[in-house]
């Protein structure tokens, strides 16, 4: 390819993005940032560049982050043993103190700093700030034998006003998944759940979950990704056990957000450089998009 052909190809990429930029201008995009995309320095920079670009072209990104690996490392250093019930971490008072310290004091501020280095104006928050995320103690079931999960929260309310004020101005809110109870106690909450509830409260146009899988697949083949699904198709695939295991709570979280007013939801592979841009601004995307109905943004979109 000649130098001129290469330049023209770059121009074609920008033109492909144009209808999406037009459609999403002024809209809110909630991004759950976690998994391996938080571990690799190259991927960290890639994600922050993507988010900064979204802001500069007129969208309102809101970031919700996890931080499990950082919490685990700190617990190990302090010799605090982790215990799980049905895949959920038991969060006693000592573990809660560490989780809050790591998520709010370390992980959140690292993300804010990285965004600011890219030219953004990011502001770090957690659910305690302005009672942003109100919650109650999560109960794993009525059977007491299932055990007490401790300070794990179930969201009862999102006070979205503070996020709206920040995101619609020149800033990017970065939210750590720590909630607050009625007596002021802190609770640890699953970051996917927080992202879905925030997207619903903001009536976001998009909810994007960055994961360590390529998307929803028809088989074990990594190339067999389903580019788009409706809510009905999701339930059908769960019934057929094509969607199974850890993917079920992710897709059902997406469905719940759609039912509460989110426009489109996406499950994408955060291990791919510039995964956010590739999913939002290309005709086909790279992951799985879940919608209420398959309605095109424009005629060339491939869903």
If you ran DSSP here, which 8-state letter would residue 38 be given?
A: G
If you ran DSSP here, which 8-state letter would residue 270 be given?
A: T
Q: How far apart are CA 60 and CA 54, in angstroms?
A: 7
**DSSP characters over 73-134:** HHHHHTTPPP-EETTEEPB-HHHHHHHHIIIIIIIHHHHHHHHHHTT--EEEEETTGGG-EE
Q: How far apart are CA 214 and CA 65, in angstroms?
A: 19
Residue 67 assigned as binding residue: yes
- Which residue, among 110, 152, 95, 104, has the nearest Cα to 126 in the 3D structure? 104
CB 50 within 8 A of CB 17: no
CB 163 within 8 A of CB 202: yes
Residue 168 assigned as binding residue: no
Element at 54 (helix H, strand E)? helix 41-56
- CA 23 to the chain's CA centroid: 21
Residue 271 assigned as binding residue: no
Alpha helices in 168-282 (DSSP H): 191-202, 231-239, 247-259, 275-281
Residue 292 structure tokens: 């209420």
Q: How far apart are CA 9 and CA 144, in angstroms?
A: 62
- Which residue, among 208, 191, 214, 215, has the nearest Cα to 264 in the 3D structure? 208
Residue 68 assigned as binding residue: yes
User: Residue ranges for the binding site?
Assistant: 67-68, 89, 188
User: Residue ranges for the binding site for substrate?
Assistant: 67-68, 89, 188
């Amino acid at each position: 390819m000649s130098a001129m052909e290469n330049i023209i190809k770059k121009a074609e990429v920008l033109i492909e993005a144009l209808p999406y930029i037009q459609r999403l201008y002024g809209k809110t995009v909630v991004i759950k940032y976690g998994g391996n995309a938080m571990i690799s320095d190259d991927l960290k920079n890639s994600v922050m560049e993507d988010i900064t670009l979204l802001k500069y072209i007129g969208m309102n990104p809101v970031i919700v982050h996890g931080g499990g690996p950082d919490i685990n490392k700190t617990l190990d250093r302090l010799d605090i043993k982790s215990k799980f019930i049905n895949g959920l971490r038991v969060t006693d008072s000592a573990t809660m103190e560490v989780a809050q310290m790591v998520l709010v004091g370390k992980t959140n501020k690292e993300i804010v700093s990285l965004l600011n280095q890219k030219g953004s104006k990011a502001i770090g928050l957690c659910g305690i700030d302005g009672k942003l995320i109100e919650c109650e103690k999560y109960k794993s079931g009525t059977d007491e034998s299932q055990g007490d999960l401790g300070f794990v929260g179930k969201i009862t309310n999102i006070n979205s006003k503070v996020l709206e004020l920040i995101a619609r101005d020149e800033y990017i809110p970065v939210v750590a998944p720590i909630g607050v109870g009625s007596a002021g106690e802190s609770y640890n909450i699953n970051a996917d759940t927080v992202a879905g509830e925030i997207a619903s409260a903001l009536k976001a146009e998009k909810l994007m979950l960055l994961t360590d899988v390529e998307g929803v697949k028809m088989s074990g083949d990594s190339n067999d990704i389903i580019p788009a699904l409706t809510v009905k198709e999701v339930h059908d695939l769960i019934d057929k056990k094509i969607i199974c295991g850890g993917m079920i709570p992710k897709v059902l979280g997406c469905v719940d957000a759609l039912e509460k007013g989110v426009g489109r939801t996406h499950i994408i592979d955060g291990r791919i450089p510039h995964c956010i841009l590739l999913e939002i601004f290309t005709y086909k995307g790279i992951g799985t998009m879940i919608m209420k109905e398959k309605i095109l943004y424009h005629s060339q979109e491939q869903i």
